[in-house]
Amino acid sequence: MSDQNDSFDLNVLREMFRSEAYELISELENALLALEEAPADKDVINRVFRALHTVKGSGGACGFDDISHFAHQVETLYDAARNDRLQITREIINLTLAARDQIAALFDSYYQGRPAEQEVTAQIIGQVRRLLPADAAKKEQKPKTEAPAPPPVVARSATYRIRFKPSKNIFLTGTNPQNLLDELRQLGDCRIVAQLADVPPLDALDPEECHLYWDVILTTGRGIDAIRDVFIFVQDASEVKIEQLDVDGVLSGDEEYKKLGELLVERGDLSLDDIQSVTTEQKRFGELVVEKGLVPHDRVEAALHEQQHVRDLRQQRQKVEEMASIRVASTKLDKLVDLVGELVTVQARLSQVAAGANNALLLSIAEEVERLTAELRDNSMSIRMLPIGTTFSKFKRVARDLSQNLGKSVELLMEGSETELDKTVIERLHDPLVHIIRNCIDHGIELPEERLRSGKPRQGTIQLSAEHSGAHVLIKIADDGAGMNGDAIRRKAVEQGLIATDAELTEKDLYALVLLPGFSTAKEVSDVSGRGVGMDVVKQAIDALRGTIEIVSVRGKGTTITLALPLTLAIIDGFLTRIGDDHFVIPLSLVDECVELRHAEMHSSSGRTLLNVRGELVPYITLRERFGISGERPPIEQVVITKVEGLRAGFVVDHIVGGHQTVIKNLGQMYKKVDGVSGATILGDGSVALILDVPKLLQGVERDEVRA
Amino acid sequence: MMGIRRDRREGEDVLVVSGEATITGAKELKKVLMEAITSGAVVHVVFENIAEIDVSVLQLLCAAHRTFAQQGRMLTVDCASSEPVLRLAKQAGFLRHIGCREFKTCLWAEPR
């Protein structure tokens, strides 16, 4: 029974660890890619070490003994590196990336039942041992049972102010004070300021005496005894003062930590009278007290370090608090959004009934329900939002591996990683983005020698950025490569019968040809791209997300691909209109204004219908004609003017109903290819309204514009 | 063992410290610094091939800098070009934002 319970607990534990495990290997990958940029940076080395250490500790605690052991072996490399016994090389980074992939494969084998090649683990461990410095390798070979890595200590850590004044004879006793400081540093986050005020002039100095002392601010989870242990052999002859700073949560508050003056008084460096004597002067307090000789500059320095340390600590804690979250299965979230969608539909029905019932009480209840539903909708949608950086960071590895394979040098820069997008959109965006980035590296970025010949830096750049634009997120992938060859694209399109020889195309339409199925101008088919399969799949994926793709390219300068994606695929603010008995929804984010249209005002020029709006000629589409709706047109129609990518165009409808929370329902398979409609929604009375695909409808108008 | 070489470069004294710059060679370094004070020239301390360094040497340099400053003389110490020296100065908390005001200059003030 107990065994059964143990195995149940372990399974529960493993399930709880699942997301964290994949986050850890993703963090490990990011840290390694950062290390590649700065192989000597101790902070980054520590970051890699921490990631491996946590995989080891948490993996061990969840019973993944093979992963824990493997991570431990690899971690040894970084332990040696952080102690200056090993220099990080490209070989070590490549090996650790391979180890990271193997750890991922081992997790996959547990969680997804995919078989992992166990011999890879042994191969990597063999290579790790070969790279280790002799002493570390020896240590590693000794069998030992190591306790699992301690859990993170952030929550239980405390901050201490330490003053360490060694005896003058400390050098002669063979104790190096630096070693004690190093030991303190190993206990946690530490700031050290050497106090030099007691150092005499050269002629009076006995160089074998120590006149230095140190002020230290340390945040550690190891407790005050661990600090005392550091000084255990020198405490009798030295002055060691340890004070805990964050008693009663003083470091967790929102208000500003103590002012410099307060700190100096608290630390015993300044009297209250001294503070009063200088506070009337308009100068920086620290400079002032030093200038007036009230406090040695070293003491001010130490107090400033304490202030900064606490600020950093608070920031870290805030981050931890922000990150404090519960993990919920995404299916539960999907269900929640579905239910909110249903609620929105019922609420619309309630509002409609209330509007017709002539009952003030019912109307006020309906309004209240409407307000709460809108709030609930926004909240549930925001739960599904994730920063796009979670996806972006995966591309660094793609870019690195591919550019190395192709002998190119490419830097992937990212901007706007914090931009949030619906989880489903992010998940479905991964493959198209990988394809675009691979294309940029394969076709866009030139070989280093070629780049140098054309006066470009040796290393190519791909800039991946995300930003909000109304109800959309714009994702741009811009490279500084060779750009697209417009003539070649045209020739190929004519060859393939996609366009007529004399077809007049805008630049945008010309580059859009590469999004057609089977289109490729690559002379050779490579492993990476050039088979003409890909960009059309990218287009399909983006279409399915109700997004758009735009390509801008300058020969010799580079290409920018912009994806405009809706923030969410579930519920949008819509603008409800009516033609005859049919309802249509226009996404509210695209609506610019509404004007009336009388028959007398209708103009036609070169077959295009134009409307004069305060002197500006705006093309319009009569939806009744576009969708073949029969019946009489009212004498005064309504034009909803929309704006997409700077182009204003109107849609003529019979009546405007008004704002409408639109729960998007997909059209069935049968209607998937209907142009100009992106989905449907259910109205309060149970009838169906179609959601207009405004960008698609406007493409026709745009083409007319060019011809005109 | 600490190596100390005294060069004259363009009319200025250059003390080249190398090897093990630790307490074992501190007395010798003090002696050379004291001699340099009397030489009447600008003195630069540079580090070459430092195998080891401890805080007693940094303390010594600090004391020398104070004495030079009091006499209106100039002593410079090139910590930045020696990785072990810079690392020790950082880790032992010597580098600082506010340098010594009383001596106008400070060996350990980080550029703002």
Residue A207 and residue B97: Cβ atoms within 8 Å?
no
Chain A CB contacts of B62 under 8 Å are: 196, 199
Interface residue of B96, B101, B107 to substitute, partner A, most A CBs within 10 Å: B96
Position of tokens 């493409």?
Answer: A699
Q: What pLDDT sits at residue A424?
A: 81
For chain A, 708 residues long, the average pLDDT of each consecutive 10-residue run is: 50 74 86 88 85 83 85 89 86 92 89 80 89 66 43 57 92 88 87 88 92 90 85 86 70 60 70 63 68 75 78 68 68 85 86 88 92 88 82 84 90 87 84 90 92 92 87 88 90 84 82 79 47 70 83 92 82 88 90 86 65 87 89 90 84 91 76 77 84 80 54
Cβ contacts of residue A152 below 8 Å, gap of 6+? A54
The residue of chain A with its CA nearest to that of B95 is A193
The residue of chain A with its CA nearest to that of B37 is A202
Position of tokens 């030139």?
Answer: A446
Position of tokens 């049919």?
Answer: A582
Whether residue A210 lies within 8 A of chain B, CB to CB, comes out as yes
Q: What does residue A249 show for φ and ψ, rounded to 5 degrees?
A: 65, 25
The residue of chain A with its CA nearest to that of B96 is A301
DSSP state of A173: T
What length does chain A have? 708
Let me know: does A231 contact A225? Beta carbons within 8 Å: no
Chain B CB contacts of A212 under 8 Å are: 55, 59
Whether residue A181 lies within 8 A of chain B, CB to CB, comes out as yes
Whether residue B73 lies within 8 A of chain A, CB to CB, comes out as no
Pairing of β A636-644 and β B43-53? unpaired
Whether residue B62 lies within 8 A of chain A, CB to CB, comes out as yes
Chain B CB contacts of A176 under 8 Å are: 54-55
| A505 closest CA partner among A495, A497, A496, A493 | A493
Distance (Å, whole) CA B108 – CA B95: 5
The residue of chain A with its CA nearest to that of B62 is A199
Residue B97 and residue A298: Cβ atoms within 8 Å?
no
Chain A CB contacts of B30 under 8 Å are: 202, 205, 207
ipTM: 0.93
Q: What does residue A148 show for φ and ψ, rounded to 5 degrees?
A: -60, 155
Whether residue B96 lies within 8 A of chain A, CB to CB, comes out as yes
Distance (Å, whole) CA A494 – CA A503: 9
Whether residue A185 lies within 8 A of chain B, CB to CB, comes out as yes
Q: What pLDDT sits at residue A369?
A: 93
Distance (Å, whole) CA B43 – CA A310: 40
Q: What does residue A475 show for φ and ψ, rounded to 5 degrees?
A: -115, 120
Distance (Å, whole) CA A530 – CA A521: 7
The residue of chain B with its CA nearest to that of A40 is B83
Whether residue A578 lies within 8 A of chain B, CB to CB, comes out as no
Whether residue B4 lies within 8 A of chain A, CB to CB, comes out as no
Interface residue of A84, A163, A202, A289 to substitute, partner B, most B CBs within 10 Å: A202
Q: How far is CA A317 from CA A181, A237, A263, A323, A704, in A?
A: 25, 37, 22, 10, 58
Distance (Å, whole) CA A590 – CA A696: 13
Whether residue A160 lies within 8 A of chain B, CB to CB, comes out as no
* Closest by Cβ to B63, choosing from A182, A200, A214: A200
> What pTM, to 2 d.p., does this model score?
0.52
Residue A178 and residue B56: Cβ atoms within 8 Å?
no
Chain A, 300-359: which have a CB under 8 Å from a chain B CB? 300-301, 304
Chain A CB contacts of B100 under 8 Å are: 196, 297
The residue of chain B with its CA nearest to that of A173 is B23
* Closest by Cβ to B59, choosing from A176, A191, A212: A212
Q: What pLDDT sits at residue A140?
A: 52
Chain B CB contacts of A300 under 8 Å are: 98
**Least confident interval from A248-257, A371-380, B41-50, B81-90:** A248-257
Whether residue B9 lies within 8 A of chain A, CB to CB, comes out as no
- Which contacts qualify for A505-511: CB closer than 8 Å, 24 or more apart? A506/A702, A506/A706, A507/A552, A508/A550, A508/A551, A508/A552, A509/A703, A510/A486, A511/A484, A511/A486, A511/A551, A511/A552, A511/A553
A to B CB pairs, distance under 8 Å: 98
Chain B CB contacts of A210 under 8 Å are: 55-56, 59
Report the Cα A151 to chain-centroid distance in Å: 26
Whether residue B107 lies within 8 A of chain A, CB to CB, comes out as no
Q: Is the pLDDT of residue B101 over 60?
A: no
How far off is chain B from A136, nearest CA to CA, in Å? 21
Distance (Å, whole) CA A139 – CA A132: 10
* Closest by Cβ to B93, choosing from A193, A203, A291: A193
Q: What does residue B16 show for φ and ψ, rounded to 5 degrees?
A: -100, 115
Whether residue B23 lies within 8 A of chain A, CB to CB, comes out as yes
Interface residue of A82, A161, A182, A205 to substitute, partner B, most B CBs within 10 Å: A205
The residue of chain A with its CA nearest to that of B90 is A192
Residue B96 and residue A298: Cβ atoms within 8 Å?
yes
Q: How many CB atoms lie within 10 A of CB A3?
A: 7
The residue of chain B with its CA nearest to that of A182 is B91
The residue of chain A with its CA nearest to that of B66 is A201
How far off is chain B from A208, nearest CA to CA, in Å? 7
Q: What does residue A74 show for φ and ψ, rounded to 5 degrees?
A: -70, -35
Chain A CB contacts of B92 under 8 Å are: 177-178, 181, 192, 194, 214
Whether residue A290 lies within 8 A of chain B, CB to CB, comes out as yes
